């Protein structure tokens, strides 16, 4: 990669959302903002290798995108007053990058953009697609590939979402304080879905765009953290993602089999990501101890992952602390899946029999992890026949190839009866 | 400002039931009162354009005036399990305000509320 290529990649990562956000604010139209931002980057790819990288790439891109947007609005006569006004204003002031003290307003614009893309009136899959396009700057083909759908389908999904935002007047602003916690949790849900989509595909070497989604989700969550530094759940989600991402290479073997946490090569964990995740968890623990709001789902999950990643040997894991954290989690979300995960920790603390009694009460027959957990507990109890049947069911339900490989090997290790 | 239609839906058979599909006379009267209060509030806040309840869909008539002579047909335009039973037209700053009002409307009239933007009345 040449220096110019690198500068363009960096500018894309750092400036895309800013350019889209400031143009959306100015022209009141996501479509214009998206197209003009894309055009500005195309011009950068053409010009920068010839003219050199401008001293302030962000300002250059915003100016270029603004000019493109204005050209387009002039070309199309059917434009509303807000856009005509923006053009008129640009003629007086020049379409230049705002001064540095206006930078905080720009941060605010990116936040508006995020809240608009994750608005609850949009379908969940549209929120994900729109966030990756408008805030993340991924192209439609990239998003389509990552979510394993046709490019035209993904294009339509994004277009429909933009049309709804316009027609239904979904506002372009940060929600009122009273609505903020709920709306932030909506944004975090979108980011976690993006992360999980990438995480679940790890081991799927055919499709690196898909596994890159974890990095994209982390990047966007870092951005939200910059914009909402006081929010505990934002910090919690970032910590959770970092602590999961830290184990990425250890999670799938060279032969493409899922490696369980207790069997992972802990020497290959990313210590920098773990240290960052732990620091965030400590920050939240201190905040809660100082009378901050009670930790939500992401902070608790991050804490659980922090316990797992704080020991070099799986046998030193503090299971009582993990069970205690799952008890906290049950107060936030008393779902059978949380109970299942709690039971896995209980098995380490009180033995497989106690854990099995707990999970046999759960109504999770359609969930592969339920059967995989049962299979494992039954194997440990020497109930081989039942264990085999549970592995069979888990393999039948599992979708991830790496997981199927692990479950198959486990099942085939059982002696013949 | 933007205008929205907020509509409430229900099966046509509700009109023949003793309490129009409400669980009891008390529930019906309480819902009417809550809806009245909600309408007053809409007026006070300046969001109210129009609101009314509709009579049964089977009292509707469809007219096709596109030919030489109008063709008149008894019954609603589309056969459906549920029909619009009442509606509000509101004029508010944006969808967030509309959704908040719809939540109040739904709680008052005891039904799900559909919020649909209008093409006119759009502030440029």
A134-143 as b/e, with b when 16 or more CB fall inside 10 Å?
Answer: bbbbbebebb
What value does the mean pLDDT take over residues A249-265?
91
In this model, does residue A97 exceed pLDDT 90?
no
The DSSP string of B29-81 is HHHHHHHHHHHHHHHHHT-EEEEEEPPPGGG-EEEE-SSSS-EEEES-SS--S
In this model, does residue A386 exceed pLDDT 80?
yes
**CA pair distance A347, A355, nearest whole angstrom:** 5
B27-83 pLDDT tens trace: 999 999 999 999 999 999 999 999 999 999 999 999 999 999 999 999 999 999 999
Query: Mean pLDDT of all residues in chain A?
Result: 90
Residue of B nearest to A172 (CA): B94
The CATH number of the domain covering residues in B2-117: 3.30.70.1060
Structure confidence at residue A105 (pLDDT): 63
Structure confidence at residue A96 (pLDDT): 52
In this model, does residue A38 exceed pLDDT 80?
yes
Contact assessment for residue A61 and residue A41, using Cβ atoms and an 8 Å cutoff: yes
Structure confidence at residue B120 (pLDDT): 77
Q: Which of A81, A119, A169 sits opposite B2 (nearest CB)?
A: A169
Count residue pairs from A and B with Cβ separation < 8 A.
Answer: 27
B70-116 pLDDT tens trace: 999 999 999 999 999 999 999 999 999 999 999 999 999 999 999 99
Q: Which residue of A115, A116, A168, A182 to mutate against B (max B Cβ within 10 Å)?
A: A168
Please report where in the chains the tokens 């809660």 appear, as a residue: A288
Q: Which of A80, A82, A170 sits opposite B95 (nearest CB)?
A: A170
| Residues in chain B within 8 Å Cβ distance of A88 | none
What value does the mean pLDDT take over residues A157-181?
92
| Residues in chain B within 8 Å Cβ distance of A121 | 95, 99
**CA pair distance A360, A364, nearest whole angstrom:** 9
Contact assessment for residue A166 and residue A82, using Cβ atoms and an 8 Å cutoff: no
Per the CB < 8 Å rule, is A170 touching B94?
Answer: yes
Higher pLDDT residue, A146 or B31?
Answer: B31
Per the CB < 8 Å rule, is A121 touching B117?
Answer: no
Backbone angles phi, psi at A277, to 5 degrees: -65, -45
Per the CB < 8 Å rule, is B2 touching A82?
Answer: no
Please report where in the chains the tokens 């009292």 appear, as a residue: B59
In this model, does residue A256 exceed pLDDT 50?
yes
Half-sphere exposure of A321 (CA within 13 A, CB side): 13
Q: Which of A234-238, A320-324, B19-23, B54-58 has the lowest mean pLDDT?
A: B19-23
Which residues are paired to B91 by β-bridges?
B3
What value does the mean pLDDT take over residues A215-244?
94
Which residues are paired to B86 by β-bridges?
B8, B53
Per the CB < 8 Å rule, is B95 touching A167?
Answer: no
In this prediction, residue A132 has a pLDDT band, given cuts at 50, 70 and 90, of: very high
Q: What token pair was written down for A54?
A: 């401008």
| Residues in chain A within 8 Å Cβ distance of B122 | 169
Per the CB < 8 Å rule, is B96 touching A80?
Answer: no
Q: What token pair was written down for A152?
A: 């035209």
Question: B77: how many CB neighbours lie within 10 A of its CB?
Answer: 11
Per the CB < 8 Å rule, is A171 touching B94?
Answer: yes
Distance from CA of A170 to the nearest CA of B (A): 5
Residue of A nearest to B100 (CA): A179
Per the CB < 8 Å rule, is A81 touching B124?
Answer: yes
Contact assessment for residue A246 and residue A257, using Cβ atoms and an 8 Å cutoff: no
Distance from CA of A5 to the nearest CA of B (A): 41
In this prediction, residue A346 has a pLDDT band, given cuts at 50, 70 and 90, of: very high
Per the CB < 8 Å rule, is A121 touching B2?
Answer: no
CA end-to-end span of chain A: 59
| Residues in chain A within 8 Å Cβ distance of B94 | 169-171
Structure confidence at residue B124 (pLDDT): 43
Q: Which domains does chain A have, with CATH numbers?
A: 1-104 (1.10.1740)
Percent of chain A exceeding pLDDT 90 equals 74
In this prediction, residue A53 has a pLDDT band, given cuts at 50, 70 and 90, of: very high
**CA pair distance A23, A50, nearest whole angstrom:** 26
Residue of B nearest to A79 (CA): B124
pTM, whole model, 2 decimals? 0.85
B7-27 pLDDT tens trace: 999 999 999 888 888 999 999
What value does the mean pLDDT take over residues A334-355?
96
Strand blocks (E) in A226-372: none
In this prediction, residue A95 has a pLDDT band, given cuts at 50, 70 and 90, of: very low
**CA pair distance B100, B90, nearest whole angstrom:** 12
Structure confidence at residue A410 (pLDDT): 95
Distance from CA of A85 to the nearest CA of B (A): 10
Q: Which residues contact A112 (CB under 8 A, 6 or more apart)?
A: A21, A24, A25, A172, A173, A174
In this model, does residue A375 exceed pLDDT 80?
yes
| Residues in chain A within 8 Å Cβ distance of B117 | 167-169
**CA pair distance A283, A4, nearest whole angstrom:** 38
Question: A417: how many CB neighbours lie within 10 A of its CB?
Answer: 6
Structure confidence at residue A293 (pLDDT): 85
Half-sphere exposure of A18 (CA within 13 A, CB side): 23
Per the CB < 8 Å rule, is A171 touching B99?
Answer: no
Long-range CB contact pairs, A294-297, < 8 A, 24+ = A295/A232, A295/A236, A295/A328, A296/A185, A296/A232, A296/A233, A296/A236, A296/A332, A297/A233, A297/A236, A297/A329, A297/A332, A297/A333
Per the CB < 8 Å rule, is B94 touching A81?
Answer: no
**CA pair distance A174, A180, nearest whole angstrom:** 8
3-state helix, strand and coil shares in percent for chain B, rounded to the nearest 5: 35, 30, 35
Q: Which of B93, B95, B124 sits opposite A168 (nearest CB)?
A: B95
Structure confidence at residue A180 (pLDDT): 87
- Pair type for strands B113-117 and B61-64: unpaired
In this prediction, residue A88 has a pLDDT band, given cuts at 50, 70 and 90, of: low
């Amino acid at each position: 990669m040449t220096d110019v290529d690198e500068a363009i990649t960096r500018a894309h990562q750092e400036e895309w959302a800013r350019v889209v956000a400031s143009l959306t604010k100015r022209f009141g139209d996501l479509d214009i903002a998206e197209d003009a931002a894309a055009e500005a980057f195309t011009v950068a790819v053409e010009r920068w290798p010839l003219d050199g990288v401008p001293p302030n790439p962000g300002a250059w891109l915003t100016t270029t995108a603004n000019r493109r947007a204005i050209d387009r609005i002039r070309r199309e006569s059917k434009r509303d007053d807000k856009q005509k006004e923006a053009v008129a204003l640009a003629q007086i002031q020049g379409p230049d990058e705002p001064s540095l003290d206006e930078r905080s307003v720009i941060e605010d614009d990116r936040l508006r953009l995020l809240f608009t893309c994750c608005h609850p009136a949009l379908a969940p899959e549209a929120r994900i697609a729109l966030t990756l396009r408008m805030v993340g700057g991924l192209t439609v083909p990239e998003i389509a590939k990552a979510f394993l759908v046709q490019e035209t389908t993904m294009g339509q999904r994004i277009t429909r979402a933009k049309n709804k935002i316009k027609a239904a007047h979904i506002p372009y602003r940060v929600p009122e304080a009273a609505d903020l916690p709920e709306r932030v949790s909506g944004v975090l849900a979108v980011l976690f879905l993006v992360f999980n989509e990438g995480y679940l595909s790890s081991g799927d070497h055919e499709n690196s765009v898909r596994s890159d989604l974890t990095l994209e989700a982390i990047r966007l969550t870092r951005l939200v953290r910059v914009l909402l530094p006081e929010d505990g759940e934002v910090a919690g989600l970032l910590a959770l993602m970092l602590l999961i991402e830290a184990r990425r290479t250890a999670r799938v073997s060279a032969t493409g089999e899922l490696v369980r946490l207790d069997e992972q090569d802990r020497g290959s964990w990313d210590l920098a990501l773990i240290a960052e995740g732990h620091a965030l968890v400590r920050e939240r623990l201190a905040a809660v101890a100082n009378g901050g709001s009670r930790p939500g789902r992401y902070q608790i999950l991050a804490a659980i992952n922090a316990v797992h990643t704080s020991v070099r040997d799986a046998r030193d894991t503090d299971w009582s602390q993990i069970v205690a954290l799952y008890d906290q989690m049950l107060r936030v979300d008393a779902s059978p899946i949380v109970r299942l995960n709690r039971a896995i920790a209980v098995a380490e603390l009180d033995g497989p029999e106690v854990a099995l009694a707990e999970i046999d009460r759960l109504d999770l027959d359609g969930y592969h992890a339920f059967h995989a957990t049962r299979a494992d507990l039954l194997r440990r109890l020497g109930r081989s026949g039942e264990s085999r049947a549970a592995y069979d069911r888990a393999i039948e339900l599992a979708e991830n190839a790496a997981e199927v490989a692990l479950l198959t090997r486990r099942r085939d290790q059982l002696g013949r009866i | 400002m933007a205008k929205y239609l907020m509509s409430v839906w229900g099966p046509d058979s509700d009109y023949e039931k003793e309490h129009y599909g409400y669980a009891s006379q008390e529930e019906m009267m309480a819902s009417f009162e809550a809806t009245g209060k909600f309408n007053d509030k809409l007026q006070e806040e300046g969001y109210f354009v129009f609101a009314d309840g509709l009579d049964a869909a089977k009292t509707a008539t469809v007219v096709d005036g596109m030919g030489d002579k109008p063709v008149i047909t008894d019954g609603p335009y589309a056969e459906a399990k549920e029909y619009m039973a009442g509606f509000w037209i509101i004029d508010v700053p944006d969808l967030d305000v509309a959704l908040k009002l719809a939540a109040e409307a739904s709680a008052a009239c005891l039904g799900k509320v559909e919020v649909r933007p209008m093409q006119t009345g759009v502030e440029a």
